[in-house]
Each structure stands twice: as structure tokens, then as C-alpha cells.
Structure 1
Amino acid sequence: MEQDSFIALPGLALDVELPDPEDLGLSDQDFLSKVDLAWQVCERFDLQTEIWRGRILRTVRDREKQQGDSRGQGFLRWLQEQEISKTRAYSLIELANSADTLLSSGALPATAVERFSKRAFVETAQAPPEVQEMVTTAANRGERITYREVKQINDEWTTLQSDILPPIIKEKAADRSLSPRYLAPLVKELEKLPLEQQTSLQAEVAKTPDVDTIKLVTAAARSLSRYLESAPQIQALSQLELDLTQALGEAQRLGQLQSAADLVQQAAQLETTMARLYTTWKRLSYLAEQLYVESGSSTPHLRQLLTGLETLSGELLEIQLGQGDKARMVRIHILPDEG
């Protein structure tokens, strides 16, 4: 039997065999299969390492709590010494907690953890108990658990359990004539909407229960959600006696729902940008004035720097967009505060 060729690499605690990229006698399919197997080994090793890191971090954090460090300053100092961010630390602790929950229930033996990819394990830990049971049952049968499989099971369960879908859609999901991967996003978007908008879109998918309609309705629900989230935040609209829902209905009737959603979202972003621009300008102007007072003829280069920045630190801001014939000068006039 012909022997497979592998790369000789320096020894590590983790033993992974990689195919030789120069072995042209190895077909692309076999090459990628061996690479995929090596990747799976690394994912399993990485998962177990991450779980133990989370347990270590949790132990250090809990020790600080026992010593009366309610604000966790000692724990934060320890994280800085280890060059670990607070966000990273708590995500690892969450992973460790999830692992302990799955393992302590007895449904998943420790030996079955190696059958999960890292993403699959995290997805399982965050899934509802019913989904966890289905996934752990598959793992106990010796099946390799991937993220895609866990997500598919989660989508199917979410779809079939949701009361927000019309009965005909749930029937089609049950007999698999409609894939849950199209229905799960629809459920997620519909749940964000008020009952009135939900009812309208539910009737639409019930009338034409096919994939194309589901995609269109999902996009419409997403636009509705963005509109309803952004519009109340816009200061320019706060002084008007405006029925945002009625305006939304009129845009929907004109077939301009997407444009209306984009309009209010851009308006909200513009107001936020204006607020940030003003606070940044105020800080820049203050620093420029402070340096101007402290500088003089003995600091000509510093004065030149301040002169160059006058187009940004004064009341009239100027910036050129583009180059050459297409260049355009944009000016923004910031009026002095009144009173």
C-alpha cells in the first residue's frame, strides 16, 4: 500500500499530521480532506484549551471576590499582567460556565466534547435546552458536530416552536418543503415588529408561501424594524406631531418602504455625526487657542502648525473632497453659541 507523505514539523504537545503540499501524486480531494481533518483536530484542541482558560480566569475572579474585592480591581490587574482584555476574559468565563452546565447535566460526557468544533460547542451552549438535547444525543452517538449542523437544528426548532408564523408555513417547515434556514431569519425580524406590522406581513407570506415571498417579506420586516428603531431618535422629528406609523404605512403603500427606512436611518446617523463633529471641533478650537496664547516669535514652526489648522479650528470649517477636476470644497459654518 502506498504511504501518504506528510510534512516533518517541529514536535509539539498537539500531534497533527499535515499532507505534503509538494506531493503532486495526492489528489486535490484527498489533500483537502487531510487538511480538513487536521483543522478539526486543532479546533477540538482549541476548544478544550479555551474551556480550561475560562475556568482559570473564573477561579482568579472568584478568589478576588472572596477577599472582598467587590469591584474586581485585583482581577483586572491580573488580566493586564496576562495581556488579556476584559471582554476576552469574560467571554472565556462564559464558555467555561456553558461547558460546566452541559457536562454537569450528565447529558454530555467529557469524552464527547472532542466531537465538537469550537463554534459548534459555543452555539450548542447558547441554544435552548431542547436543541442542546438533540445535539448532545448526536454527539453521544459518535457523530462529529459542526457549527452548521447545530445552527440548522436550532433554526428548525425555532421555526416549529414559533407562534409568529402562519400555520401553512409551519406545515411546510415540518414536511421540509420550506427550509428553516429561510424561515428562521423571518421569525427573528417579525418578532421585532409591533402587532399591526406583524399581521400585515404574516398575511402576505400565508397568501404566497414560497421561498421568494419569504425572502421579500424578511427584507421588508428588516426595513420596518430599522425605521421603527431610528425614527424616534431623530431630534428633527421630535417637535412635530407626526404619526410615524402612518408615515410608514404610506411609504409601504407606495412601494418605498426600503427608501423610507434608509431615509430615517441616515438622518439618525447624520444627527449623531453632527453632535460628534461639534464636540470634536470645540476640543480642537480650545487646544488651538491654548497653544496660540503660549506660543510666540520663538516658536515659528508651532505658529505655522496653528495657521495651517485654522480651516478646522475656526467657525468656518473647510475640507476638499476628491482630486483634480472632480475636486470639491465642502464648507461647514458653525455658528457661535447664543447667550
Structure 2
Amino acid sequence: MQLIDNFNEIANALNQPTDFSFKLPDPEDEEIPEQDFLQRVEVAWQVCDRFDLQTEIWRGRILRTVRDRDKARVNGRNTSFSNWLKEREISKSQAYSLIQLANSADTLLKEDKLQPSSINNFSKRAFVETAKAVPEVQVMVSEAAQKGEHITRREVRQISDEWTAMTSDLLPEQVKVKVADNTLPNRYIVPLVKELEKLPESHQESLKEEMKTNPDVDTLKQLTIDARNLAKYLKASNQVQALDKASIDIESALIEAQRVNCLNIAADLVNQASQMEQTIAKLYMNWKRISNLADRLYVDTGVSTPNLRLFLDCLEPLGGEVINLDISGTSNWSVRLQIQEIE
């Protein structure tokens, strides 16, 4: 790659027309086989993707340079970076996202995890995904890129998923063996690991024991659901005031629900209780608001506004201590709510 360092060379380069055009297939030409058509547009897309990635990395480096120049100034208000962004209609979040991309690229290059020529084998999203991955995954992806393989985000995620499956301490050896010989697909492993990571160690162990006993797809799918419900149960139980009024061992209750196969019901019950308490709090705030607005409107109305008064008479009861509401459905019935403020 030719480096352009001189200002005049940069200016001249900008004045040169860019040879960047494709002969795309005619979308109305039915004689072009579908496979050939898709392959030709895919090649053009990949070129754009690679060109965009190189551009974004260099924009990040430029932004970083402007920002660091601003930081280095001892005197002054240090606003040149902000002004520079404003003039180019770039938000700070966009700027720092590009700077992060440039930092990731420079780190991968500096640590010899990636050769400069291999960057062109990445799509932009794949490169960003690689930069976010753990070092071991970065090495494996970079090795694939250096062999000339085209790297998309799907490949990065696949390698990352395989690494997760083979290295997670949350998976028993019986499961890892089946993953290694492709008996258990990775797509069932990663969601389970993510849900297990949200749980306390005691609940992780019980689910791991189940995996040891039945290391099959159906068990993994069910355990993923169970782990997700456990996490919801624990999160919701911490938000339910009714559970704070008694010394309840939530962990033990959860284990008992799991033992008698009522975990899903218990999790849903806690979740509904949490939502109900939040709804009651919101109802109270709305009730107070209606009461205050009705009082203000009553003061500002009189005999000269009969229709407005009738409007107020219809809505004012909703701000009273007793609220009657007709529930429409298969059978007509009413609900009566009484709201009392207790200090």
C-alpha cells in the first residue's frame, strides 16, 4: 500500500477520479441464471464492504488525531474537536465509535494478530465483531483471514460460539465431547451458557447435573428455558414489595418449585405480582393527577360553560375515593376500587 504523507500529494489524490465502478447484471435479464446473478452482486457487495471498512478505520484514526491534538493543548477551552465534528455533522457517539474501530484495528495489527493485507478479507461488521471478541477468537479469525478466506460476521460468530462451547466452565465434559464430535449443535449451547451466567452458582450446579445425566438436544432446550425462568424469577422477586414483608428464603422456594416441576408457574406468578405492584403505583399517580386537574377545571368553569361542566362531571368520579368501572366482555360486570392514602 502506497503511503501518502505530503499535503500536495493528498490534494492531488483528491482531484483524481476514483476508479470504482461495477458492471452489475441486468435485473430484467431472465437468461442470467439465478446463482450467477447472486454471485455477481455478492462480489460487488463485498468490494464495497471492504472499501467501507478501510475508510472507516482511517476516519477513526483522523478523528483520534484531532481529538488528541485538542487534549494536548494546555491553554484554551479545547473546543476544536467539538467544532470539527459540528462542521462535518458528526455526532460524538459516531466519532467515538469510529475511534474505537481504529483503536481495535491498531491493536490487532500491533499485537501481530492480523496482517495489514488481511483486513481486505473482512466485511466491516465482521471486523467490528472480531475486535469485540476474546483474544483467542481474534487469533483464530485472523488466521482464517490470512489464509485468504472471506470473513463475514456469521463466520466470526460461529468461531466465537465454538470457543464458548469448548471453554465454558458451565458446561460439563459430557456436553463438550458431544459438541466436539458435532452430536450437539452449537446453536443450542450458546443461549444456554448466556442464561446460566445470569444465575447464582447454586442453581448453575443443579442444571449442570441435569446436563450430565441427559446430554441431548431436548434437555439443553428445556434447561435454557428453565434457566431463563430462574433468572426472571430472581429478578422479579427482588422487585416485589409483598415478599419483603416476610422472611422468605427465595432461593429455597425456587429450588422447591423446580423440584416439583412448578418453576414456570412460580416464575410467572412472581412476574405478574411485580407487574401488578408497578401498575398499582402508576394507577395511584394517574388518580392523583386526575383529582388535581379536576379541581383546577372546576375552579375555572361555571354556568357559562355548561358543556364543559358536564364533561367534568363525567370524569371527576375517576379522581374520587371510590371508582366504579364497567368491564365489557362476554358478560357485563363491574369493578369497584377504593383508594385511600395512608401516611
Aligned match of 2:199 in 168, 193, 210? Answer: 193
Give the aligned residue type for 1:169.
V
Equivalence map 1:122-271=2 (5 Å): 122-271=128-277
Per-residue deviation, 1:135: 0.5
TM-score with structure 2 setting the length: 0.77
Question: Is the contact made by 1:54 and 1:93 (CA closer than 8 Å) also made in structure 2?
Answer: yes
Per-residue deviation, 1:241: 1.6
Per-residue deviation, 1:262: 2.3
164-173 vs 125-134, greater mean Cα deviation: 164-173
Aligned match of 1:338 in 329, 336, 342? Answer: 342
Question: Is the contact made by 1:320 and 1:327 (CA closer than 8 Å) also made in structure 2?
Answer: no
Question: Is the contact made by 2:49 and 2:124 (CA closer than 8 Å) also made in structure 1?
Answer: yes
**What are the Cα deviations for residues 242-285 of structure 1, in whole angstroms up to 9, with x where unaligned?**
12122212222232222222222232233334434444554565
Give the aligned residue type for 1:179.
P
Question: Is the contact made by 2:290 and 2:316 (CA closer than 8 Å) also made in structure 1?
Answer: no
Per-residue deviation, 1:215: 1.4
TM-score with structure 1 setting the length: 0.77
Per the alignment, do residues 190 and 312 of structure 1 end up closer, same or farther by CA in structure 2, a change over 3 Å counting? same
**What are the Cα deviations for residues 137-171 of structure 1, in whole angstroms up to 9, with x where unaligned?**
11111110011111111111122112221122122
Give the aligned residue type for 2:172.
P
Q: Distance in 2 between matches of 1:74 and 1:330?
A: 65
Q: Distance in 1 between matches of 2:340 and 2:284?
A: 11
Q: Distance in 1 between matches of 2:45 and 2:334?
A: 52
Equivalence map 1:39-58=2 (5 Å): 39-58=45-64
Per the alignment, do residues 261 and 66 of structure 1 end up closer, same or farther by CA in structure 2, a change over 3 Å counting? farther
Q: Partner residue of 1:27? A: 33
Q: Which runs of 5+ in 1 are unaligned?
A: 1-10
Equivalence map 1:67-82=2 (5 Å): none
The number of equivalent residue pairs is: 326
Per-residue deviation, 1:337: 3.0
Q: Distance in 2 between matches of 1:43 and 1:327?
A: 60
Provide the aligned C-alpha RMSD in A: 3.9
Q: Partner residue of 1:4? A: none
292-301 vs 182-191, greater mean Cα deviation: 292-301
